[in-house]
């Protein structure tokens, strides 16, 4: 995957040049691509994901995309939901997440293929959004643990048996062996497709690190997430799969 950047007005865009360039090497993407209203006017919004960011599913022709704006959480969101402090283009959350996702994708790890990231500067602050290719026919591990939900029926047989949970652990071990510190590892950021393959999403603020205590912290965070979904026992087969990897 070959990443490239260009500027259009106040917007800086980092994109996958291998999939978004035509014969003249002009990027087939622009600031409008990150504007939900643009897709809504074209009647090409196919759905919406739950969560604070209100990610949209988009009909992009040959593929379906996920458009995710960056949104703050917690108390600070009451005062500044969309703006972040500008400390340099390559330090923006969107550029860092897209480059990390591209690196993991290039290593063959199960993450969505990145499409583009846009950063719009407003003096000392910026807004940002990210586009990735949507993973087809997936549902969150959280939904499987709950045994239903809006995505019910995507995984044949439903549910999260020990075999699936061990594959979750095996997948997490692959990411940890690659050095990925996922700072928000929870049951909603682990997806399972129709063939039972496990995927990891939402790499905002994540990074590659040397071996350390962060691995244990990741797993402990996941354990707390499983407990919130009334499935603390799911962590045992996940740890078995992690250890057997």
Name the one residue in this structure whose structure tokens are 């990891």: 200
Whether residue 77 has pLDDT greater than 70:
no
> What pLDDT is attached to residue 137?
93
Q: Angle formed by the axes of helices 214-228 and 235-244, to 10°? A: 150
Three-state DSSP class for 189?
A: coil
Please tell me which residue in 181, 184, 204, 236 is annotated as part of the active site.
184
> What pLDDT is attached to residue 81?
76
User: Are 10 and 108 in a shared domain?
Assistant: yes
User: Are 108 and 124 in a shared domain?
Assistant: yes
Dmax over CA atoms of the chain, in Å, equals 55
Query: In terms of residue numbers, what domain contains 31?
Result: 3-133
The more confident residue out of 154 and 201 is 201
**Where does a domain end: 133, 157, 176?**
133
| 184 catalytically annotated | yes
Name which of 82-96, 110-124, 137-151 the model is least confident about: 137-151
The domain tally of the chain equals 2
195 half-sphere exposure, CB direction, 13 A CA radius: 4
């Amino acid at each position: 995957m070959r990443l490239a950047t260009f500027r259009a007005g106040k917007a800086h865009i980092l994109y996958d040049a291998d999939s978004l360039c035509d014969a003249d090497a002009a990027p087939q993407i622009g600031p409008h691509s990150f504007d939900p209203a643009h897709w809504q006017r074209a009647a090409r919004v196919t759905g919406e994901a739950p969560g604070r960011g209100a990610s949209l599913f988009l009909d992009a022709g040959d593929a379906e995309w996920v458009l995710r704006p960056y949104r703050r959480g917690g108390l600070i969101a009451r005062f500044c939901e969309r703006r972040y402090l500008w400390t340099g283009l390559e330090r923006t959350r969107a550029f860092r997440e897209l480059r990390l996702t591209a690196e993991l994708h290039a290593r063959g790890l199960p993450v969505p293929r990145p499409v583009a990231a846009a950063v719009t500067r407003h003096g000392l602050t910026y807004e940002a959004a990210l586009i990735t290719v949507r993973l087809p026919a997936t549902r969150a591990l959280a939904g499987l643990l709950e045994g239903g939900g809006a995505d019910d029926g995507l995984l044949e047989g439903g549910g999260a048996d020990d075999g699936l949970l061990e594959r979750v652990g095996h997948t997490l071990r692959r990411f940890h062996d690659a050095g990925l510190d996922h700072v928000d590892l929870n049951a909603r950021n682990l997806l399972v497709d129709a063939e039972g393959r496990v995927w990891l999403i939402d790499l905002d603020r994540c990074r590659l690190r040397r071996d350390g205590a962060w691995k244990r912290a990741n797993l402990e965070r996941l354990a707390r997430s499983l407990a919130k979904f009334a499935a603390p026992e799911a962590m045992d087969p996940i740890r078995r799969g992690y250890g057997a990897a």
